[in-house]
Amino acid sequence: MPEEGHRRVMAFDFGTRRIGVASGQEVLGTGQPVAMIPARDGVPDWSQIEKLLEEWRPNLVVVGLPLNMDDTENEMCARARKFGKRLHGRYHVPVEMVDERLTSFEAKGEVMAAGGNRDFGRNGVDDRAAVLILETWFGLQDNRAGN
């Protein structure tokens, strides 16, 4: 495994209809949208996820945790945690959860600012939210390192 700071990291924005995916290098601290995977009541096409993991070969996977504004968990948190555990169990990749509050809201704002319409599902909101989740995780690593 690469030394800390040089890992490839993949992030997932878990949703019941779509799961956004982003990837990035820890040393750069930025992510890029990779895919939006359709889900059926939160169940993804696992073969699509497997293909992405094989292609991008992340050293770590980050899954967004949609906490309530008062830091409490909700049903979506439980589902996101379950998704993270399944990723780890199926593909044996380390998984970390990260607070994703407001990332979808911010991603929608970015899509609208770039000229997107209100049909968010077709305009990259979920994969953009995954980028924001990834960049949030990178920022937490910087804070831990004292940067």
- In 17-103, the DSSP E strands lie at 18-25, 30-40, 43-44, 60-65, 95-99
Q: Which residues contact 15 (CB under 8 A, 6 or more apart)?
A: 39, 42, 126
Is residue 1 included in any domain, yes or no?
no
Q: Which domain holds residue 84?
A: 8-145
* CATH number, domain containing residue 43: 3.30.420.140
Q: Is residue 3 part of a domain?
A: no
Q: Quick check: is 2 in a domain?
A: no
Residue of 94 and 106 predicted with greater confidence = 94
Residue 64 in tokens: 């967004």
Q: Over the stretch 103-115, which tens digit does the pLDDT of each residue have?
A: 655 545 554 555 5
- Identify the weakest region by mean pLDDT among 19-33, 82-96, 121-135: 121-135
State the burial class of residue 48 (Cβ atoms within 10 Å of its Cβ: 0-12, 13-18, 19+).
middle
State percent of the chain over pLDDT 70. Answer: 77
Asked if residue 58 is part of any domain, the answer here is yes
Number of structural domains found in the chain: 1
Percent of the chain exceeding pLDDT 90 equals 61
User: Letter for the amino acid at 100?
Assistant: E
Question: pTM of the predicted model, to two decimals?
Answer: 0.82
Condensed to tens digits (0 to 9), the pLDDT of residues 46-70 reads 999 999 999 999 999 999 999 988 9
Residue 9 pLDDT exceeds 60: yes
Instruction: Give the total residue count for the chain.
Output: 147
**Is 25 a domain residue?**
yes
